[in-house]
Chains A and B, each alone.
Chain A
């Protein structure tokens, strides 16, 4: 567990310092832990797992300014996953699994699962409801896997406008998911 903590912490701190590659590895590893955790917790609803993995990743990203270097990353990420899971269970009026305590941060990092299933909710569809300034940068970066520089050239936006568009779009996306619940 301490090895996981140290590696994730290193990657996240680099990520917060604008190292995109390290941040991507952090998210990738975290998503595998989230998937295994949620598959176990939502054993009755396997179809919902990938949606919640994505929603939790989006929350981790949008709330990454709440991380403090003196906190264990595992405790921080677990608290976010726990909150998202409880929020989901509540809004879907699901009783199952509510009785098991969710307080053990180690549970999240004890296992991992990199086999992603199809997400049921299509974030791409939600994306189309965003204004162009946010939608276009996100679509180019996501669909084509383009870099910010390339996206800027293709859309005629400045590089900082692309980044602002992605940033605001991700916040708006999270708000839309929240509105659906």
Chain B
């Protein structure tokens, strides 16, 4: 086929284009990812039995705000990475804010207790399972996030994959917080982030394989 013939052919495919198609796909991906994680959480772990009373505690909301803020920053970054030639700008910096705030809170909490109490504060009672549970709950959003990126044109595939993994991890953590009994900032600062790191690394590995266009 000659290039001019191809150009003529491409110009025939002239249906108007939605410039927010990427955002729409991410909205669907996030809604489906949260829903999927919710179903998995109820099936695998169940809500924490004292959910209603814990809802009165600020730390319960702190966990949700932390996960939601990270998801929002991840999404802002991802919708830029999904477009060729769009500078990432400050979106990457915003990503650092939620963990930095959490780490500051954790250090403050650790400095207020005696040395012997520090390890229990970090390990809580569920450190062995927490990261893997978060990773498990991130699976639906991981799949839908990659589906959304398949409808876009990221040019740095490993980074885009990592971004989708991080978004999935943050959404997994958001839903897991409804089950998780841990309330100490030092615990969250280590194990929640470890749980999110699992899908992030996996996304970086799978990105170059799955996202080519």
A23 an interface residue at 8 Å Cβ cutoff? yes
Q: Is the CB of B84 within 8 A of A57?
A: no
Chain B positions 142-181 with a Cβ under 8 Å from a chain A Cβ: 152-153, 155
Q: Is the CB of A57 within 8 A of B11?
A: no
A155 an interface residue at 8 Å Cβ cutoff? no
CA distance A58 to B7 in the complex (A): 9
Of B13-21, B56-64, B70-78, B109-117, the one touching chain A: B13-21
A22-41: CB near B (< 8 Å → 1, else 0) gives: 01100110010000000000
Determine which of B3, B19, B213 lies in contact with A57 in the assembled complex, contact meaning CB atoms within 8 Å. B3
CA distance A138 to B19 in the complex (A): 25
User: Main secondary structure on chain B at its contact with chain A?
Assistant: loop
Please give, as numbers and ranges, the residues of chain A lying within 8 Å of B9 by CB-CB distance: 138, 141-142, 166, 170
Please give, as numbers and ranges, the residues of chain B lying within 8 Å of A145 by CB-CB distance: 5, 8
Number of A-B contacts (CB under 8 A): 131
B residues apposed to A, CB below 8 Å:
1-19, 21-22, 82-86, 152-153, 155, 212-213
A167 an interface residue at 8 Å Cβ cutoff? yes
| Smallest Cβ-Cβ distance to B14: which chain A residue | A20
Determine which of A16, A59, A68, A77 lies in contact with B86 in the assembled complex, contact meaning CB atoms within 8 Å. A68
Of A1-9, A79-87, A92-100, the one touching chain B: A79-87
Please give, as numbers and ranges, the residues of chain A lying within 8 Å of B4 by CB-CB distance: 28, 116
Q: Is the CB of B155 within 8 A of A54?
A: no
CA distance A123 to B14 in the complex (A): 20
